[in-house]
Amino acid sequence: MTAVREHFGSRLGFILAAAGSAVGIGNLVAFPVAATKSGGGAFLLVYALFVFLICLPVMMAELAMGRRSDKDPVGAYRQLSSGSHLWRIPGWLALATPFMIAVFYLVVTVWVLGYLIETVTGNLDKLAAPDFFIQFINTPQIFIYLVALMLLINAILAMGVKDGIERAAKTLMPMLFVMLLGLVIFVLTLENASLGLKYYLIPDFSKLDGNVVSKAMAQAFFSLSLGMGIMITYGSYMKRQDSIPGSSRAVAITDTLVAFTAGLLILPSIFHFNPQIDPTELSESSAGMIFQFLPRIFLALQDGIGYVGASVVATTFFFLVLVAAITSLVSIIEVPIATLRDERRMERKKAIYLIAGVQFLLAIACAVSFGMVNWITDFVQLAGASKSFFDLVEIIFYDTILPLNGLLVCLFVIYKWKKANFDKELQEGDEKFAGSFSQKYVNFSLGTFIPLILLLIFINTVALKFF
Ligand code: PFF
């Protein structure tokens, strides 16, 4: 028997849940790191252009596919292509991608949880030690944290769309905004914070090159949770009377504001720590920033506000990142759940057990990729370098298949499902959209230059990462 499809209870509930998905470690850490390395304000401008000119139409396309079909990604492609065999492939890709991205994102979130526990228990000084991170990610404790995290996320998911996902977003997202603002206000009062602000806000266009531009694009795409089947699935829980263009705009604005605000937090902190610093010399990776550099910055605060004060700031920060990661994980794990429910008529709880079981095993394989198990640490040779299982999952699903999925959504919506049907769906709940400039732009861009840009990114990644 098919149960009646659950829906989000209100437009605000949907926007908070979708923003909860979009706001993640990507916004809080990857964005400020990328902006730091790539011309501050200049990166910000390019990033914002990509969000609104390229990613927003793709988000509308994904939401429309979901809401029209009332299905998970596999079902959406099948139904809207009237059963075409060829178009089943993107449906399966839009299922495999979130499944596997969730696996490596779970592991990173486990580290965040571990760091949070360390700061709460008064061990901030330990975190700031140079070798702590690599030792920590190789301790058996992380398996306990993994179990705890998965229990929490799956408990939210077990309560369903309205009582689980929406309610969690309505509680956690306002909390996240408050913590973020509180931290920014505190950081801006620190000595030399203005140096960081200047560095962040005054654009240095000389740093913009092809590499930076493609990084901004990939970051924007990931940050809005596109190409992961999430927006298709969340679209299927949207009410017909809600505006897809309006809600997409609200999600994109929230997501971009949070990324921008995270920059206001990270850069002034870096300059307070060391006013002479050249931020372009910092490590390229987000992991290096969050797990190695930031703990040192937090510890250094003890000179001004004491050890307990510094620990409170660090705890708030890691809690903030944990909350952002949890709402993202909830959205991404909902995709395979929706697929098992829609395609296999499986009960929600049963689907959760099955998915959590497989993800747990794969997450362990990712977690032991850093030296615990040698053959998983040196899993394959790619482009002349040895890569771990964790690296491989990230390279295949995040770097490569994500833009491919986006490309397929554009082509599908415009050329297979057809513009007229897509337009009709966007107009439901938003009559003003019909015939507007936005509508013409969305149709034109999705059929022309957006898929082209995504194709170029895809080809570039394949060439770079695999050969
Ligand atoms: N928008 C998320 C972020 O910026 O971190 C992307 C994401 C990652 C969503 C992982 C969901 C997820 F599980």
At 174-224, the pLDDT tens digits run: 999 999 999 999 999 999 999 999 999 998 888 888 888 888 999 999 999
Q: What is the pLDDT of residue 1?
A: 43
Averaged pLDDT, 413-426: 97
Residue 293 CA: distances (Å) to CA of 46, 130, 263: 26, 9, 15
Rounded to 10 degrees, the C-alpha dihedral 441/444/445/447 comes to 150
Q: Three-state SS for 404?
A: helix
CB of 229 within 6 A of ligand 1: the answer is: no
Residue-wise pLDDT for 425-457, tens only, equals 999 999 999 999 999 999 999 999 999 999 999
For residue 411, is it within any domain?
no
d(Cα 442, Cα 447) in Å, to the nearest integer? 9
CB of 27 within 6 A of ligand 1: the answer is: yes
| Atom nearest to 31 CA in ligand 1 | 4
Q: How many domains does the structure of the chain reveal?
A: 1
CA–centroid distance, 327 to ligand 1, in Å, is: 9
Q: What is the mean pLDDT of the chain?
A: 95
CB of 225 within 6 A of ligand 1: the answer is: yes
CA–centroid distance, 331 to ligand 1, in Å, is: 9
Strands 385-387 and 380-382: antiparallel
The CATH number linked to 71 is 1.10.4160.10
Rounded to 10 degrees, the C-alpha dihedral 334/21/215/56 comes to 100
CA–centroid distance, 99 to ligand 1, in Å, is: 12
Averaged pLDDT, 405-409: 97
CB of 327 within 6 A of ligand 1: the answer is: no
d(Cα 451, Cα 208) in Å, to the nearest integer? 23
d(Cα 251, Cα 253) in Å, to the nearest integer? 6
CB of 328 within 6 A of ligand 1: the answer is: yes
Contact 259, 176 (CB under 8 A): no
For residue 434, is it within any domain?
no
DSSP per position, 69-88: HTS-HHHHHHHHTTT-STTH
Residue-wise pLDDT for 84-134, tens only, equals 999 999 999 999 999 999 999 999 999 999 999 999 999 999 999 989 999
**Containing structural domain, residue 357:** 11-363
CA–centroid distance, 25 to ligand 1, in Å, is: 7
For residue 392, is it within any domain?
no
Residue 301 CA: distances (Å) to CA of 39, 224, 273, 426: 27, 33, 8, 50
Residue closest to 334 by CA, chosen among 113, 164, 108, 92: 164
CB of 172 within 6 A of ligand 1: the answer is: no
Is 0.90 exceeded by the ipTM? yes
CA–centroid distance, 451 to ligand 1, in Å, is: 22
| Atom nearest to 329 CA in ligand 1 | 13
> What element of type H or E holds 28?
none
Averaged pLDDT, 355-375: 96
For residue 425, is it within any domain?
no
CB of 33 within 6 A of ligand 1: the answer is: no
d(Cα 104, Cα 359) in Å, to the nearest integer? 10
Q: What is the pLDDT of residue 185?
A: 96
CB of 21 within 6 A of ligand 1: the answer is: yes
CB of 153 within 6 A of ligand 1: the answer is: no
Averaged pLDDT, 384-391: 93
For residue 140, is it within any domain?
yes
Residue 166 CA: distances (Å) to CA of 6, 55, 159, 204, 265: 11, 23, 10, 40, 28
Q: Three-state SS for 171?
A: helix
Cα 232–Cα 235–Cα 236 angle in degrees, nearest 5:
95
d(Cα 102, Cα 107) in Å, to the nearest integer? 9
User: Would the pLDDT of 164 be above 80?
Assistant: yes
CA–centroid distance, 127 to ligand 1, in Å, is: 25
The first and second tokens of residue 407, run together, are 């490309």
DSSP per position, 96-153: HHHHHHHHHHHHHHHHHHHHHHHHHTT-HHHHTSTTHHHHHTTSTHHHHHHHHHHHHH
Place of tokens 């654009």: 203
Q: What is the pLDDT of residue 3?
A: 60
Nearest CA to ligand 1 atom 8: 328
Pocket test for ligand 1, best of 228, 251, 327 (most atoms within 8 A of CB): 228
CB of 64 within 6 A of ligand 1: the answer is: no
CA–centroid distance, 255 to ligand 1, in Å, is: 11
User: Would the pLDDT of 18 be above 50?
Assistant: yes
For residue 4, is it within any domain?
no
Backbone angles phi, psi at 45, to 5 degrees: -65, -45
For residue 180, is it within any domain?
yes
| Atom nearest to 27 CA in ligand 1 | 4
> What element of type H or E holds 191?
none
Contact 363, 333 (CB under 8 A): no
Averaged pLDDT, 376-381: 94
CA–centroid distance, 197 to ligand 1, in Å, is: 26
User: Would the pLDDT of 255 be above 80?
Assistant: yes
Nearest CA to ligand 1 atom 5: 24
Pocket test for ligand 1, best of 21, 95, 104, 326 (most atoms within 8 A of CB): 21
For residue 191, is it within any domain?
yes
Q: Three-state SS for 380?
A: strand
